[in-house]
Amino acid sequence: MHRALWTVLALAVLGGAAALGTGFAPGRGGNSAGGDSAAGVAVDSMSASRAVEASEWTALEPGLELAEFQAFPGDADPKVAALRIDPARFELRLLSASETGENRTPREWCATFGLAAAINASMYQADLKSSVSLMRTRTHINNPRLSKDNSILVFGALADTLPPVRLLDRSCDEFEEALAGYGTHVQSIRMISCRGENVWSPATKRHSTAAVGVDSLGRVLFLHARSPQAPHDLIAKLIELPLGLERCMYTEGGPQAQLNVGEGDAAREFTGTNIAERLLGAGSREPLPLPNVIGVVRRARREP
């Protein structure tokens, strides 16, 4: 759900933008009703096997690393932020205002629930609470509907033999069986498929993007690109970066696309924008309250 309210001036500028062939509204871009397009741009094998360690990574604490890659030289916001999470040391947690009773900014979600980080869980509906697709935990259902979108992030494994986190692809995984093994399910739009393909068609709409991916070592990546980019173009850039991305899903676009890392005065907030705001000369905006976030929680240490 995207709820930007434009002034008369904004509408005039947007009209000019449309004439130039530039879009602004976050959304599914070239994705079809089935959640993908047939773009089918495969990940280069060299990119897939590229070492995921890079000098850009800063260890925040064991198992949690942050990098900001210079992805769009010349842009006012050239960096893509990537938070890399080791699921052996951290677990994911879905938090929803439909359960807790209040929308919060990502920083507020972190402060209230002791999270090490938080990112958009998915796009949301006009009630400002419900996800557009399947979203549930073992104790709370935000949206019970399985949509046509092809990515489902699952975590909260119900058996020690299962990977702690998986990003399922409905086109190639036995997803019904996989869903049964996890307590939390978050469905959204596929960006990189199980076959390593960029599944968004080229489009003109440009906006910030928040996304969640998994790398070749099973680590989780929270991704944020403030630079307004068409999703197809952003995905191509993510594939080029030394992230080791194997799969990736879209969680929000535009001003609502947000990532918070850390707590208190040390927190880093990454906020979104879109091409319309750029045309109006808008700078950084205050973070917006979100109804649903995926949080990062330190795992309790087990006694030997």
Residue 204 burial (CB < 10 Å; 0-12/13-18/19+)?
Answer: middle
Asked if residue 127 is part of any domain, the answer here is yes
Asked if residue 304 is part of any domain, the answer here is no
Q: Which of 154, 256, 144, 276 is CA-nearest to residue 205?
A: 276
Question: Residue 10: what pLDDT?
Answer: 37
| SS3 of residue 216 by DSSP | coil
Asked if residue 1 is part of any domain, the answer here is no
Q: How confident is the model at residue 277 (pLDDT cuts 50, 70, 90)?
A: confident
Asked if residue 282 is part of any domain, the answer here is yes
Q: Determine the Cα–Cα distance for residues 198 and 216; give it in Å rounded to an integer.
A: 17
Question: Residue 36: what pLDDT?
Answer: 56
Asked if residue 2 is part of any domain, the answer here is no
Asked if residue 250 is part of any domain, the answer here is yes
Q: Determine the Cα–Cα distance for residues 137 and 158; give it in Å rounded to an integer.
A: 12
Which tens digits make up the pLDDT trace of 221-245? 999 999 999 999 999 999 999 999 9
Q: What is the CA radius of gyration of the chain?
A: 18
Residue 214 pairs with which residues in a beta bridge?
Answer: 220, 247
- Give the whole-number percent of the chain exceeding pLDDT 70: 79
Q: Which of 14-23, 95-104, 125-134, 255-264 has the lowest mean pLDDT?
A: 14-23
Question: Residue 293: what pLDDT?
Answer: 98
Q: How confident is the model at residue 2 (pLDDT cuts 50, 70, 90)?
A: very low
pTM for this model (two decimals): 0.84
Question: Residue 284: what pLDDT?
Answer: 62
Q: How confident is the model at residue 1 (pLDDT cuts 50, 70, 90)?
A: very low
Asked if residue 116 is part of any domain, the answer here is yes
Question: Does residue 273 carry a pLDDT above 80?
Answer: yes
Question: Residue 121: what pLDDT?
Answer: 98
Question: Residue 51: what pLDDT?
Answer: 38
Asked if residue 141 is part of any domain, the answer here is yes
Q: Which of 252, 266, 188, 255 is CA-nearest to residue 223?
A: 252
Of 44 and 16, the structure prediction assigns the larger pLDDT to 44
Q: How many domains does the chain have?
A: 1
Of 93 and 7, the structure prediction assigns the larger pLDDT to 93
Query: Which range of residues forms the domain containing residue 213?
Result: 8-298
Mean pLDDT estimate for the chain: 84
Residues 268-294 as b or e (16 or more Cβ within 10 Å = b)? ebbbbbbbbbbbeeeeeeebbebbbbb
Question: Does residue 5 carry a pLDDT above 80?
Answer: no
Which tens digits make up the pLDDT trace of 166-195? 999 999 999 999 999 999 999 999 999 999
The total of other beta-carbon atoms located within 10 Å of residue 158's CB is 11
Q: How confident is the model at residue 147 (pLDDT cuts 50, 70, 90)?
A: very high
